[in-house]
Amino acid sequence: MLDIKFIRENPEIVRENIRKKFQDAKLPLVDELLELDRRNRAAITEASDLRARRNALSKANGPLFGKLKKADDAEKAAIQAEIDRNMAAVKANDERLAALEAEEETCAARMRRILLQIPNIIDPSVPLGPDDSHNVELERFGEAKIPDFAIPYHTEIMESFSGVDMDAAGRVSGNGFYYLLGDIARLHAAVLAYARDFMIDKGFTYCVPPFMIRGAVVEGVMSQTDMDAMMYKIEGEDLYLIGTSEHSMIGRFIDQILPEESLPQTYTSYSPCFRKEKGAHGLEERGVYRIHQFEKQEMIVLCKPEESMDWYEKMWRYSVELFRSLDIPVRQLECCSGDLADLKVKSCDIEAWSPRQQKYFEVCSCSNMGDAQARRLKIRVKSADGKSYLPHTLNNTVVAPPRMLIAFLENNLRADGSVTIPAALQAYMGGTKVLIPHKK
């Protein structure tokens, strides 16, 4: 969410940013917002003047009441008339003040709704484009190999280890759910534990947050469009299931003033994640690729504004380092302007190589949100000189199995159906170096 003062002083910058994000339908909102802002400020000024006038009139009546008690009959009528005029003026002021306060409330509510829709100012380095087909590959890490044997669909690999039961999950919960079993379930837990320790070794504090958050926090951490498309609401309560632990981790600081010396704050958080995942998807997005429930290790940073781009660089590189330690080739894909959610200043995806599909697919998403979340949630930092400012917030996926398991299994699969366990993960698998299928 942008500062209204910034929009007031830089309306053309805001309009141009909307154009860069290919959201021209939102352009009229800028003019509407500016008019509401003008009306709101006029109402505030007039209301302030009326309050001062009312106080002056009320104060003037004090001495008049004193005079009235001491006055003779000839003087009382004049004094009472003056008191009555003042009281009538006070009453008129009160009626006008009530109307102005209602105007302020109406304008403020509509302004906030508009401010929640106007996109954050994107970084100048973001490539321009209307959708994800214009995202730009920046760099590849590791050799993307194509084996000389056929790689089965990921659920078939899991089934060879008796490791997944989609049918039972369908009977119990419906489409978009799964049971993981045996070695595959253990691999799932091992990857999460390894990712946790990997980030702890980078200096991040491990956290397990609440898995449900209030509506005010949801509004603070994500756009309305994303909220409607993703979030599950608890019926009859002001609670939503989180779509990622970023939501509750950033929400932890709502309405807080942080001492500057506490920055940067860096966390790696574990949670289950719940998403509606609306829409039809192709074969490669079935199985355990696009699901309603999964688990994820996340990284979160709150920092000084001048440090956020340095953290952005560090965070996506942590993802690359982790995936390469598991022998998974990856690439960095820069998200174009039209593919950025409205709160984001800059974002990139880390995509893993799929030998089966012979292409890359998303496994991590790293985002710099600027001060948008902090502004919405009223998170402030107090500097040594007593001044306050808004911190920047960033988030990135560490790992999100079971989707990440697809990349892991495909890249570590051998011709005989066994799966190699990279050295970095072996301790988390009880020393196991190779998984042997139960059936072929």
Of the two residues 376 and 289, the one the predictor is more confident about is: 376
pLDDT tens string 17-41:
999 999 999 999 999 999 999 999 9
What ranges do the domains of the chain cover?
4-115, 132-435
Q: Residue 58 — very low, low, confident or very high, per pLDDT cuts 50/70/90?
A: low
Distance, in Å, from the CA atom of 213 to the CA atom of 242, rounded to the nearest integer, reads 7
Mean per-residue pLDDT of the chain? 91
**Residues 344, 149 contacting (CB under 8 angstroms):** no
**Whole-number pLDDT of residue 129:** 97
Which of 37-51, 83-97, 105-119, 213-227 shows the highest mean pLDDT? 105-119
CATH fold for domain 132-435: BirA Bifunctional Protein; domain 2 (3.30.930)
Q: What is the pTM of this model?
A: 0.87
- For residue 173, give the amino acid letter: S
**Whole-number pLDDT of residue 99:** 86
CA atoms within 13 A on the CB side of 284: 11
Residue with token string 């299928």: 437
pLDDT tens string 140-151:
999 999 999 999
**Residues 270, 208 contacting (CB under 8 angstroms):** yes
- Indicate whether 284 pLDDT > 70: no
Q: Residue 59 — very low, low, confident or very high, per pLDDT cuts 50/70/90?
A: low
Closest listed residue to residue 316, CA positions, set 226, 396, 199, 234: 396
Provide mean pLDDT across the span 223-248.
Answer: 88
Q: Residue 97 — very low, low, confident or very high, per pLDDT cuts 50/70/90?
A: confident
Distance, in Å, from the CA atom of 97 to the CA atom of 84, rounded to the nearest integer, reads 19
Which are the contacts of 12, defined by CB distance < 8 A and separation ≥ 6?
Answer: none
pLDDT tens string 349-385:
999 999 999 999 999 999 999 999 999 999 999 998 9
- Indicate whether 273 pLDDT > 50: yes
Which are the contacts of 182, defined by CB distance < 8 A and separation ≥ 6?
Answer: 161, 162, 163
Provide mean pLDDT across the span 269-279.
Answer: 85
**Whole-number pLDDT of residue 402:** 84
- Indicate whether 226 pLDDT > 90: no
As a CATH number, domain 4-115 is 1.10.287
Which of 99-113, 222-236, 267-281 shows the highest mean pLDDT? 99-113
Q: Residue 50 — very low, low, confident or very high, per pLDDT cuts 50/70/90?
A: confident
The proportion of the chain whose per-residue pLDDT surpasses 70, expressed as a percent, equals 90
Same fold, 4-115 and 132-435: no
Distance, in Å, from the CA atom of 249 to the CA atom of 57, rounded to the nearest integer, reads 52
Distances (CA, A) of 208 to 269, 365, 417: 6, 20, 36
pLDDT tens string 298-335:
999 999 999 999 999 999 999 999 999 999 999 999 99
**Whole-number pLDDT of residue 280:** 46
- Indicate whether 80 pLDDT > 80: no
**Residues 418, 400 contacting (CB under 8 angstroms):** no
- Indicate whether 1 pLDDT > 70: yes
